[in-house]
Amino acid sequence: KGKQHPLLQGLLCGLACLGQDPKPRGSLGRRQRSSQIWGWMRQGCWSIPQTTLLFLSPKDLYTAPDSCKGRCEEPYSKEDECHCDAECESNYNCCEDYYEHCRPEGFSSSRDAVTDEELLQVSEQLYGADHNKARPQDITINPQYRAAPDETDDQEDRSPRPLYAYVNEKLFSKPTYASFIRLLDNYQRATGREEEVTAEELMEQDTFLREVMKTELMKKLFAFLHKKNRYGSEQEFLTDLKEMWFGLYSRGNGEKDSSGFEHVFSGEIKKGQVSGFHNWIRFYLLEKQGLVNYYSHNYDGPWDTYPDVLGLQFSWDGFYKEVGSAFIGCSPEFEFGVYTLCFIARPGRACHLSLGGHSISIQTYTWTKSTYGPGKKYIATAYVISP
């Protein structure tokens, strides 16, 4: 699909303007003729000698659909093969020659790329800013049996006691915890069933986002992403967070039955198995109700304080999770922020971080079957990689 080139528009306009010329062409000198042409251009109407038309090929009159030549700052259109607007780099949909022709002053893949070293540094900053995390005395866990790699799919309960022996529930009165917990009962866990989002549930999403954005941790994350030209304002960041995490898409047969938040934090049931479900608060609350049965763990992180990391096996109301890795004892904003960082900086790849001097990796995936805004991607999943 080609687009009409400005040169063609000028030619058509110029032909229409020939009748405005008060003197025969031969009676004007070169300087006078140039002056008249520029005058017409300023008026939005100019002419070119007819012989020029004989030497214009179609590629001179139309822009290529896979090129940014002549298309810089062109408004986004979903019909285009690739894009040349200011947001195309952050949306991963620029034409290959974007920088050759447009050279934007905003986000640049080379100048504003997040390096591995920067990921290590900013993750340590987020770790240090998690002021709402559990203290060592706030949580007592019983990891019990450690499963070998060939035992994780046995579906055998090798731990007679619950995973959580004690949790100080005063943590849950903190604003980010309280607003997070209110979100957990907003979903149908079975994929293939359309989610019906009420006005109250939309308000709960907004409340959670507003509360986490008040924290030092999320302000540090925004400052980092702003410096990297990912977002121009905190409001733009907040709007994008709501779309990438809470925007609905279909994991089933076309029904809008899932979102990144539901999958990662609340959990889903798909094809008879637990899918997602990587949150310690959700696990504790369901275990307390007798709906989650802890079986074993295959990984226990090196941290001697919170947040810690476990790779665990469990059943949820009879449905099995073979390996469900999760942070233990972190605040909602920490998990939300770290996953967001990795989704933006390393989508679809292992994201290597440092927490308290220990290495850890996060895996995220984008949902590729549908988009929001100018071709942006939803979060499909995010979780800690447990060795």
CA distance 350 to 222: 21
State the DSSP H helix or E strand holding residue 120, giving kind and residue range, or none if neither: helix 116-128
- Print burial letters for 161-188: b (CB count within 10 Å at least 16), e (below 16): ebbbeebeeebeebbbbebbebbbebbb
CB 277 within 8 A of CB 268: yes
Residue 298, classed as helix, strand or coil, is strand
Which active-site residues does the annotation give?
Answer: 263, 278, 321
Give the CA distances from residue 153 to residues 10, 147, 158, 323, 328, in Å, rounded to whole numbers and listed in that order.
Answer: 69, 10, 12, 8, 22
The encoded tokens of residue 162 equal: 């619950």
Percent of the chain as helix, strand, coil, to the nearest 5: 40, 20, 40
Phi, psi angles (nearest 5°) of residue 39? -65, -40
DSSP 304: S
CB atoms within 10 A of CB 16: 11
DSSP secondary structure, 325-345, as one string: EEEES--HHHHHHHHHHHHHH
Phi, psi for residue 298 in degrees, rounded to 5: -115, -5
Closest by Cα among 365, 212, 195, 358 to 278: 365
Pair type for strands 164-167 and 139-141: antiparallel
Cα-based distances in Å from 93 to 63, 77, 118, 241: 18, 11, 24, 19
The encoded tokens of residue 49 equal 């000698």
- How far apart, in whole angstroms, are the C-alpha atoms of residue 1 and residue 257? 35
